[in-house]
Amino acid sequence: MTAETRLPAVPTPDPDLLYSQDEEALRSAVRALLADRSDPATVLAGVTSDEPYDGALWRALAAEIGTAGLLVPERLGGAGASTREAAVVLEELGRSVAPVPYLTSAVLAVTALLGCDLGPVEAAAALTALAEGRTVGVLALPWTTAPGRLPAPTVTAGPDGALTGRVTSVADAGSAGLLLVRAQGRNGPALYAVDAAADGVRTEPVTPLDLTRPLGHLAFDGAPGRLLAAGARAEAAVERALLTGAGLLASEQLGIAEWCLSETVRYTAGRTQFGRPVGSFQALKHRMAALWLEVASARAAARNAADALASGSPDAAVAVAVAQAYCAPVAVQAAQECIQLHGGIGMTWEHPAHLFLKRAKSDELALGSPGRHREALAELVDLRAP
């Protein structure tokens, strides 16, 4: 075919950044549940307890509303939805900093399993259990691991699948029932399923900055692993999980920023000084207006990433890199402004603003820092530094 007769390239569809009626209905259900069971006082009380997360809230969110199975196909007991719906859930979880393992289990673990060969009964049964909320799955990688930046495996697998090694700073490791472990096998990296309660598995809790998302070190000493995928397929499954997780983390960061902005506007409208609401002072109005513009831009970036992942867009990696590079700093800025504009009360333990700042700072490093994502974006669009 000559250049004159070559068919024109099919244009990429424009992203859909708006919320559908079904997505808004899902948001209403999740928000109502969180307002009833995850208000700031409840979250504050929970982070000082010995429980890694709110089990009753997780069961209601995962099983009763069915959010744990949004990304799981219907034939395996899930809803067969897309990342757009999961993004709505994460927005609401960000608005309440709810201590539940949604991102780690219903997004990262589920996406990794979906990238494996679904023929084995092992993968199918695991997906069904995750979709029904009967267990919590965790992808055993350091929480700072970024898409496209997979380190060398720190766990080795023997010929019989026995795993030996250590993985540090794994999010929600203490609440996991199923561990998805990337290990170095005889023929290269592979992905194994390990029961968290099995012999040879030890979880070492650590004290994280964000107490609503616990971290732990995982140690394996001959732990029995069941092979899910090997070679290029295993690496592709893990990479897809990290890309999806990073893209949807932007929606959680958006929710954090939205709560901080709304709470700041509400407080400054009611707090009076010199006989006037402090929110009416021009300097504060300018700061909140500038923050509103940042949050609106973050919403566009987060929705674009969720839509690109849902539609299988060839530009999904670019959309995710843009979303993470932009949304992470906005969430931190919003939390900082929230604390400062609340004055002295914002710096007390009783006020929940510190929970949002800690989650925002923790999320800034999760699944790759903004700097890592800017570097990835430069490579993706061929704008490398000289």
pLDDT in tens, 288-314: 999 999 999 999 999 999 999 999 999
Helix (H) or strand (E) holding 210: none
- Residues 325 and 330: their CA atoms lie apart, in Å, by 9
Verdict on whether the full-model pTM lies above 0.85: yes
- The rounded percent of the chain whose pLDDT value lies above 70 is 94
Q: How confident is the model at residue 283 (pLDDT cuts 50, 70, 90)?
A: confident
* Range of lowest pLDDT (19-28, 29-38, 264-273): 264-273
Q: Which whole number is the average pLDDT over 160-179? A: 95
Helix (H) or strand (E) holding 330: helix 316-341
* Token reading at 55: 């089990």
- Residues 7 and 221: their CA atoms lie apart, in Å, by 58
SS3 203: strand
Q: Estimate the crossing angle of helix 316-341 against helix 370-380, to 10 degrees.
A: 150
| pLDDT at res. 118 | 62
How many other C-beta atoms can be found within 10 angstroms of the C-beta atom of residue 198? 14
| pLDDT at res. 8 | 52
SS3 329: helix
Q: Estimate the crossing angle of helix 83-96 against helix 231-270, to 10 degrees.
A: 40
